[in-house]
A and B are shown apart, each in its own frame.
Chain A
Amino acid sequence: MAADASTVGSSASSSGGFAPFLVDSLFQRSLDDMIKAIRSAPGGESSLIHRLLAEIRREIRSTDSDTKFLALQKLTYLSSLYFLDMSWAAFHALELLPSSVPAFKRTAYLSASLSFHPSSTDLLPLATHQIRKDLQSPNPSLSSPALHLLALSSSPDLALHLSNDLLSLLSSPRAAVHVRCRAVITSLPVLRLTPDSARAFLPKLVEALSPSSPLLSAAAGIFCELVCSGDPRPYLPLAPDFHQVLLECRNNWILIKILKIFARLILLEPRLKRKLVDPICELMRRSPAKSLVFECLRVVFCSFPDEETAFQLAVEKVKEFIAADDDPNLRFLGLHALAMLQPGQSWAVEENREAIVKSLADPDPNIRHEALRLIMNMVFENNVVEISSLLINYALRSDPEFSNEILDAILVTCSRNFYELVLDFDWYVSLLAEMVRNPHFMTGEEVERQLIDIGMRVKEARSELIRVARVLLIDPALLENQFLHRVLSAAAWISGEYIQFSRNPLEIVEALLQPRTSLLPSPVRAVYIQAVFKIVTFCFNFFVNAGVLSDSKCNIDENTGAESEDSSDATTFKMESLELKELLTSKTIIHILNLIVTALVPFSECNEVEVQERACNVLGLVLLLNGIEEWKTDDVDWRIDGKIREIVTIMSSAFSEELGPVSMHAQKKVLVPEGLELKENLSDLDEILRNNDVPSSLSISFSSRIHSHNEDKEESEPATESTSLLAEHRKQHGLYYLPTDKDESGSNEYPRANDVTNAVSSEKTTNDLLKLTDQSLVFRLTKPAKPRPTVVKLDEGVDLPSSSSQYVREPTGDLLSGAVRDVLFHGDETSPTIQNTLSENYTQRKANETSTISNVDSLLKDSSSPREREIGSSSSRKNKHHSQGKERNRNTRKNENKEEKGNRSSARSSHHHGKHKLKQRVESGDPSLAKAPQTQAIQDFLL
Chain B
Amino acid sequence: MIRAVIVMNTQGKPRLLRFYEFQPPEKQKELIRSIYGVLSSRADNVSNFVKTDAIFGQDTRVVYKHLATLYFVFVFDSSENELAMLDLIQVFVETLERCFKNVCELDLVFNFSKLHAVLDEIIFAGQVVETSSEQVMKAVEEIARNSLSLSLSLSLSLSLSLSLVHAPMRMLL
B84 touches A329 (CB 8 A): no
Q: Mark A35-50, 1 if CB is under 8 A from B, else 0.
A: 1000100000000000
Interface residues of A in 1-54 (CB under 8 A from B): 1, 4-5, 7-8, 11, 22, 26, 31-32, 35, 39
Known contacts: A77-B112, A328-B45, A329-B47. The answer to whether A4 contacts B164 by CB under 8 A is yes
The answer to the question of B54 belonging to the interface, with a C-beta cut-off of 8 Å to chain A, is no
Within the complex, the shortest CB–CB distance from B152 to chain A, in Å, comes to 10
- Give Cα A862–Cα B124 distance, bound, in whole angstroms: 44
Q: Point out the residue from A224, A253, A369 that lies within 8 Å of B84, measured CB to CB.
A: A253
Q: How many inter-chain contacts with C-beta < 8 Å in the A-B complex? A: 173
CB distance from B80 to the nearest CB of A (A): 8
Task: Chain B residues near A331: list those with CB within 8 A.
Answer: 47
CB–CB B125/A139 < 8 A: no
- From residue B12, how far is it (CB to closest CB) to chain A in Å? 12
A148 touches B (CB below 8 Å): yes
Determine the residue in chain B with the shortest Cβ distance to A114.
Answer: B18
Supposing A73-B113, A222-B127 touch, asked if A363 and B82 sit within 8 A by C-beta, the answer is no
C-beta contact mask, A658-700 vs B, less than 8 Å → 1, else 0? 0000000000000000000000000000000000000000000
B-contact bits for A282-301, CB 8 A (1 contact / 0 none): 00000000111011000000
Chain A residue, CB-CB nearest to B140 = A141
Whether the pair A363, B17 counts as a contact (CB closer than 8 A) is no
Of A8, A73, A114, which contacts B169 at CB under 8 A? A8
A256 touches B110 (CB 8 A): no
User: A151 touching B78 by the CB < 8 A rule?
Assistant: no
Contact B172 A5 (CB under 8 A): yes
Against B, the Cβ 8 Å flags (1 = close, 0 = not) of A369-394 are 10000000000000000000000000
- A116-B22, A141-B147 given; A364·B47 CB < 8 A: yes
Chain B residues near A909 (CB, 8 Å)?
A: none
Q: How far, in Å, is A226 (CB) from chain B's closest CB? A: 10
Residue A229 CB within 8 A of the other chain: yes
Contacts of A272 in B (CB 8 A): none
Q: Tell me the complex Cα distance, A295–B109, Å.
A: 36
Contact count band on B: 35 or more
CB neighbours (8 Å) of B84 from chain A are 252-253, 256, 291
Asked if A228 is at the interface of the complex by the 8 Å CB criterion, the answer is: yes
Interface centre among B13, B87, B147, B167 (most CB of A within 10 A): B147
User: Is B83 located at the chain interface by the 8 A CB criterion?
Assistant: yes
Question: With A83-B26, A101-B154 known to touch, is A367 a contact of B127 (CB < 8 Å)?
Answer: no
Does A578 sit within 8 A of B, measured CB to CB? no
CB distance from B158 to the nearest CB of A (A): 9
Interface of chain B residues 12 through 55 with chain A (CB within 8 A):
13-18, 20, 22, 24-26, 28-29, 32, 42-43, 45-51
Query: Is A106's CB under 8 angstroms from B113's CB?
Result: yes
Q: Are A141 and B124 in contact (CB under 8 A)?
A: no
Whole-angstrom distance between the Cβ of A849 and the nearest chain B Cβ: 24
**Cβ–Cβ contact B49 & A106, under 8 A:** no
On whether the beta carbons of B131 and A148 are closer than 8 Å, the reply is no
Contact assessment for B110 and A148 in the assembled complex, using a CB-CB cutoff below 8 Å:
no
Which of A182-190, A417-425, A430-438, A774-782 lies on the face that meets chain B?
Answer: A182-190
Partner of A333, one of B1, B16, B26, B82: B82
CB closest chain-B residue, reference A2: B168
Of all chain A residues, the one with the shortest Cβ separation from B44 is A363
Q: Does A533 contact B (CB under 8 A)?
A: no
If the complex has contacts A118-B22, A185-B124, A225-B1, are A363 and B45 also in contact, measured as CB distance less than 8 A? yes
Residue ID in chain B nearest A227 by CB atoms: B79
Our pick among A77, A257, A294, A367 for the contact of B83 (Cβ within 8 Å) is A294
Q: How far is the CA of A221 from the CA of B20 in the complex (A)?
A: 15
A498 CA to B22 CA, complexed, in Å:
58
A367 to B120, CA, bound (A): 33
With known contacts A333-B83, A364-B47, A152–B29 Cβ distance under 8 A: no
Q: Which residues of A contact B110 (CB under 8 A)?
A: 32, 35
Does B70 belong to the interface (CB within 8 Å)? no
B131: A residues at CB distance < 8 A:
253
Question: In the complex, A363→B78 CA distance in Å?
Answer: 26
Q: How far is the CA of A5 from the CA of B168 in the complex (A)?
A: 7
| CB pair A7 B50 closer than 8 Å | no
Q: How many angstroms from the CA of A228 to the CA of B59 in the assembled complex?
A: 11
Q: Which residues of chain B in 89-137 are interfacial with respect to chain A, using CB atoms and an 8 Å cutoff?
A: 109-110, 112-113, 116-117, 120, 124-125, 127-129, 131
The interface residues of chain B lying within 8 Å CB-to-CB of A122 are none
The reply to whether B25 and A79 form a contact with Cβ atoms under 8 Å apart is yes
Contact B147 A83 (CB under 8 A): no
Q: Mark B138-173, 1 if CB is under 8 A from A, else 0.
A: 010011001100110011000100001111110110
A148 and B22 contacting across the interface, CB-CB below 8 Å:
no
- The answer, yes or no, to whether B86 is at the interface (CB within 8 Å) is yes
Q: How far is the CB of A245 from chain B (nearest CB, A)?
A: 16
Q: Which residues of chain A from 68 to 117 have any CB-CB distance to chain B below 8 Å in the complex?
A: 73, 76-77, 79-81, 83-85, 100-103, 106-107, 110, 114, 116-117
Q: A31-B112, A291-B83, A328-B46 are in contact. Are A103 and B168 (CB under 8 A)?
A: no
A541 at the interface (CB under 8 A from B): no
Cα–Cα distance between A35 and B112 once the two chains are bound (Å) = 10
Does A821 sit within 8 A of B, measured CB to CB?
no
A352 at the interface (CB under 8 A from B): no
Shortest distance from the beta carbon of B84 to any chain A beta carbon, whole Å: 4
Residues of B within 8 A of A8 (CB): 165, 168-169, 172
Interface size on A, residues (CB 8 A): 79
Beta-carbon contact of A1 and B47 below 8 Å: no
In-complex Cβ contact of B147 among A73, A102, A151 (8 A): A102
- Across-interface contacts of A156 in B (CB, < 8 A): none
Closest to B28 in A: A83
Contacts of A103 in B (CB 8 A): 147, 151
- Taking CB as reference atom, which chain B residue is nearest A12? B165
With A107-B113, A363-B45 given, is the CB distance from A144 to B147 under 8 Å? no
Residues from chain B with a CB closer than 8 A to the CB of A151 are 124-125
Q: In angstroms, how far is the closest chain B Cβ from the Cβ of A731?
A: 47
**Residue in A102, A118, A225, A333 with the greatest tally of chain B CB atoms within 10 Å:** A102
Within 8 Å CB of A80, what residues of B?
17, 112
Q: Is there a chain B Cβ closer than 8 Å to A596's Cβ?
A: no
CA distance A343 to B157 in the complex (A): 75
C-alpha spacing A294/B85, complex, angstroms = 13
Measured between alpha carbons, how far is A148 from B117 in the docked complex, in Å?
12
Chain A residues with CB under 8 Å of B42's CB are 365
A364 to B79, CA, bound (A): 25
Once bound together, how far apart are the Cα atoms of A116 and B46, in whole Å? 36
Q: Which residues of B contact A294 (CB under 8 A)?
A: 81-83
- For window 279-323 of chain A, which residues contact chain B by CB distance below 8 Å? 290-292, 294-295
With A4-B167, A26-B169, A154-B22 given, is the CB distance from A366 to B49 under 8 Å? yes
Known: A4-B168, A107-B113. A218 touches B147 (CB 8 A): no
What are 10 pairs between A and B in contact, CB < 8 Å?
A1-B171, A31-B112, A102-B143, A103-B147, A188-B125, A228-B78, A252-B84, A294-B81, A329-B47, A333-B49
Not counting A100-B154, A102-B147, A329-B49, a sample of 17 additional A-B residue pairs whose C-beta atoms are within 8 angstroms of each other reads: A7-B168, A73-B113, A80-B112, A83-B26, A83-B28, A83-B32, A117-B24, A152-B20, A185-B124, A188-B125, A222-B127, A228-B79, A229-B79, A257-B79, A291-B82, A363-B45, A367-B46
A residues in contact (CB < 8 Å) with B = 1, 4-5, 7-8, 11, 22, 26, 31-32, 35, 39, 66, 73, 76-77, 79-81, 83-85, 100-103, 106-107, 110, 114, 116-118, 139-141, 144-145, 147-148, 151-152, 154, 178, 181-182, 185-186, 188-189, 217-218, 221-222, 224-225, 228-229, 252-253, 256-257, 260, 290-292, 294-295, 328-329, 331-333, 363-367, 369
| Chain B residues proximal to chain A, CB less than 8 Å | 1, 13-18, 20, 22, 24-26, 28-29, 32, 42-43, 45-51, 77-79, 81-84, 86-87, 109-110, 112-113, 116-117, 120, 124-125, 127-129, 131, 139, 142-143, 146-147, 150-151, 154-155, 159, 164-169, 171-172
The 4 A-B pairs with the shortest beta carbon distances in the complex, nearest first, are A291-B83, A151-B125, A364-B46, A328-B47
